[in-house]
Amino acid sequence: MTDWIIYLIEQGGYLGIAALMFIENVFPPIPSELIMGAGGVAMARGTMSFWPLLIAGTLGTTLGNYVWFVAADRLGYRRLEPLVSRWGRWLTMRWSNVEAATRFFQSHGQWLVFVLRFSPFLRTLVSIPAGLSHMAHWRFLVFTFAGAAIWNTLLILGGHWLSRYLDTMSAVTGPLIGALVLLAVGAWIWRVARWKTED
């Protein structure tokens, strides 16, 4: 399982990394930890280099988040609410989540766009209140890129570190990574299946 994932990452190259990270930030449940971690393993094997990998992953992350930011900025509350209410189950996002996130964002400031890049659950959601609050586009892009670059660096280095154990522990790491992928997809399917609309 591990070798198969890394093989796909290597075959897709840096453009594939950017595309996967873009998709991960637009539509769940592809975990960025797996994408960039596998990139780190590929770097340890000599098939990828650190800087192109980091830039590709960070650009994909930034553009994926920018999609949500622009949608919220252009649509505003009145036109965005029906879309979230209608399609929210596939994103496992309720309009009440958006409202709560917007209040939190407005109370704690625009630095949340940078800080929440390190949160597995809120790093994409924060793009919506940032857009609804009409944060300056350049500031959103800078904060997002900077936070994503730090997080992706940690993921790449983590994958690089983990690579030294893959060969000796392949009997364990392969099934473990496979289980984590299935768990992430299963959790998303479970939330979609049990989704209930708000009153």
> Distance between CA 61 and CA 68 in Å, rounded?
11
Predicted TM-score (pTM) above 0.85: no
Residues whose CB is less than 8 angstroms from the CB of residue 22 and which lie 6 or more positions away in sequence, other chains included: 60, 61, 63, 64
Q: Which amino acid is at 169?
A: M
Q: What was the pLDDT predicted at 97?
A: 78
Task: Report whether pLDDT(1) > 50.
Answer: no
For residue 29, is the peptide bond before it cis, meaning its omega torsion is within 30 degrees of 0? yes
Does residue 170 register a pLDDT over 70? no
At 65-79, the pLDDT tens digits run 999 999 999 999 888
Cα-based torsion angle of the residue sequence 179, 163, 13, 58 in order, rounded to the nearest 10 degrees: 80
Distance CA 152, CA 6 (A): 17
Between CA 114 and CA 116 the distance in angstroms is 6
Q: What is the mean pLDDT of residues 117-124?
A: 82
pLDDT (tens digit per residue) in 184-198: 667 657 766 776 655
Helix (H), strand (E) at residue 29 = none
